[in-house]
Amino acid sequence: MPDRESTESRPERRAAATWIALLAAFAVAQAGPAQTRSYSERPDDPPAPTAARDDLGARTPGGRIEAGSYVSIQVNVDSEGRNIVGDAANEPSIAVSPVDPLSMVVGWRQFDSVGSNFRQGGWAWSADGGQSWTFPGVLEPGVFRSDPVLDVDSAGRFFYNSLKVDFSMDFWRSIDGGVSWLSPVPAFGGDKNWAAIDRTGGVGEGNVYGVWQRGIGCCGPDIFTRSTDGGTSFASPVDVDLDPSFGVIAVGPDGEVYATGVETAPFQDFDTFIVSRSDDARDPFAQPTFVGRRVDLGGSMVLGASPNPDGLLGQAWVAVDRSQGPSRGHVYLLGSVNPPGSDPLDVKIARSVDGGLSWEPPVRVNQDAGTAWQWFGTLSVAPNGRLDVVWNDTRASGISTVSQLFYSWSYDGGKTWSPDEAVSTAFDSTLGWPNQNKLGDYYDMVSDSAGADLAWAATFNGEQDVYYLRLFPDCNDNGVSDVTDILGGASPDDNGNEIPDECDGLVLEDPDPGVAGGSNTFRITGATAGETVVLLAALDAGETAVPGCPGVGVNVASPRLLGSAVADGSGTAIVTATIPGGAAGMTILTQAVDRTACARSNLGTYRYE
């Protein structure tokens, strides 16, 4: 769990820091949320005298929460699949075997009694794709543990990184699908750690990477460790440029390593997001070095607010596209952030197409108009380049402590998003606190081509419990992943945009021939037959209202009319327009609008030759 470091306990080891730099950093720290907390990832309550699971009479039916085609299945259950009354579980992390996708493991912070915040390393495994779970107990009975992070290597061996009270980590490995664990290996670490394993098949194959927050860890400003022998041993930590805290670590398709979080140099600056990249961490013969960038995510990270008073409202997520397509290597930063204005929290995403050197302006993922809380934003990228995002959302209740889980996905690198939808019923995030005012600090999700496997915590039965949820794009609402619909031929995808054509709406295709200084044709499908379609062009993204269509806007700033055409009987319009020669080498944004249907197309982002 994260804690804002106290000035008393903060180790300052950078002797080179001048008084001026220190004073400036302190001023920045003071400008953020006015909370200073002492470190609390230490035993506080004693362990519960008896574990709730030992009372065999204290059982209720296992949680099974249905919302449309989506079913959340309780993970922390007894051997009969029943809920254990009186315990608590949060901060889940999930890993899914790349060898057998039906094999998955979830770890979490296990509280044996809701009356004590003494926490241990809970885990459960599934061999049937999350439909049923076996919860054997905790890693080591009686040992205080927190901040669980799980991953899996290319051979399907699961890893469980677990924080201990002395800021050291235990690195556990399982070679039997999470049924049992080998003796743990000592690793370096600290509060709010994250870990990831290289599965690229490259020079870094099998490397394990770990990162944690500076100042509340083993090793002062050195917050990155790695194992180049598959987790048998870990190297002395090294520095990460700009010291990101409260985020994750991710491995790109060529073994490049990214760490993210808010800047900590040395004070946490919740207004400044960092993505720091290493190209040599994969190389066992090199000393890892990082180059960081500050990224505008359109708001600040939040720690401690109404839906989750003692926790993060969302950590920072970095994920990399590992597809074979043109988006391979693109990097995404996502978080729940407090934007300017009265809205307390939105989920926003930023993209880099040059390996983290430069970043495009952030895009809002949630699509509601009000001032609801969108917290615990969580990102994963599928092997086919689809982005999957979930978050907790208070829009329906209007109450900051009553949320539903929401889901949205994107096939265009996060520029446009599927209509966001609730994928759970409502729950009160303040129920079942184990003498600690939070639902943990994160959820965790792993995407595959057809969908995503999510581990999350909620309180449907009045207790904090951990759930598994299989998510998938389902625009045609038939209960089957749209990826499967298209692959199996149940839905056509004639325009190749990965979305069943029956869901497409207005689609703008790339220009032909796509050359500046001459005439181009733009094909638009899905329009109202016999009505005019207009094509707008702009240099910058933004939000511009469409006259006559309340609530409908285009995603460009200061657009100008590029051309128009009447749609034929099948709803296809062909717009012919000249792109000026001066646009050669530039990316022009285009978007089509059907004002009869008040429909807008996807945003065209084409770079003209």
CA distances from 126 to 111, 129, 179, 424 (A): 21, 6, 9, 21
Pick between residue 388 and residue 501 the one whose CB is nearest to Ca ion: 501
Pick between residue 320 and residue 603 the one whose CB is nearest to Ca ion: 603
Helix or strand run (H / E) with residue 319: strand 317-320
C-alpha 233/C-alpha 156 separation (Å) is: 19
Least distance (Å) from Ca ion to the CB of residue 400? 11
C-alpha 193/C-alpha 210 separation (Å) is: 7
Least distance (Å) from Ca ion to the CB of residue 484? 7
C-alpha 602/C-alpha 67 separation (Å) is: 28
The position carrying tokens 């090294």 is 238
Least distance (Å) from Ca ion to the CB of residue 497? 5
At 53 the three-state DSSP class reads: helix
Pick between residue 75 and residue 259 the one whose CB is nearest to Ca ion: 75
C-alpha 69/C-alpha 66 separation (Å) is: 7
C-alpha 73/C-alpha 466 separation (Å) is: 9
Strands in 346-352's sheet, in edge-to-edge order, are: 317-320, 331-337, 346-352, 363-364
Pick between residue 201 and residue 361 the one whose CB is nearest to Ca ion: 361
Q: How far apart are the first and last CA of the chain?
A: 50
Pick between residue 245 and residue 424 the one whose CB is nearest to Ca ion: 424
Q: How many CB atoms lie within 10 A of CB 526?
A: 23
Least distance (Å) from Ca ion to the CB of residue 373? 6
Pick between residue 172 and residue 373 the one whose CB is nearest to Ca ion: 373
Pick between residue 151 and residue 493 the one whose CB is nearest to Ca ion: 493
Pick between residue 111 and residue 209 the one whose CB is nearest to Ca ion: 111
Least distance (Å) from Ca ion to the CB of residue 312? 16
Least distance (Å) from Ca ion to the CB of residue 362? 14
Pick between residue 51 and residue 445 the one whose CB is nearest to Ca ion: 51
Q: Which residues lie below 8 Å from residue 484, measured CB to CB, with a gap of 6+?
A: 450, 490
DSSP string, 394-449: -TTT--TTEEEEEEEEESSTTSS-PPPEE-S--EETTTT-SSSSSS-S--EEEE-S
Pick between residue 191 and residue 463 the one whose CB is nearest to Ca ion: 463
Sequence length of the chain is: 609
Tokens of 299: 């708001």
Least distance (Å) from Ca ion to the CB of residue 372? 5
Least distance (Å) from Ca ion to the CB of residue 374? 5
Pick between residue 170 and residue 463 the one whose CB is nearest to Ca ion: 463
Least distance (Å) from Ca ion to the CB of residue 480? 5
Q: Which residues lie below 8 Å from residue 588, measured CB to CB, with a gap of 6+?
A: 537, 538, 539, 579, 604, 606, 607, 608
Pick between residue 3 and residue 343 the one whose CB is nearest to Ca ion: 343
Least distance (Å) from Ca ion to the CB of residue 115? 13
Residue of 88, 231, 85 lying closest to 158 (CA atoms):
231
Residue of 239, 231, 244 lying closest to 318 (CA atoms):
244
Least distance (Å) from Ca ion to the CB of residue 247? 21
- Give the start-end residues of each E strand in 70-111: 70-74, 83-84, 88-96, 104-111
Please answer whether residues 225 and 213 qualify as being in contact, where contact means their C-beta atoms are separated by less than 8 angstroms.
no
Binding site for Ca ion (CB under 5 A): 83-84, 87, 343, 346, 372, 374, 463, 465, 474, 476, 478, 480, 482, 485, 493, 495, 497, 499, 501, 504
Least distance (Å) from Ca ion to the CB of residue 303? 17
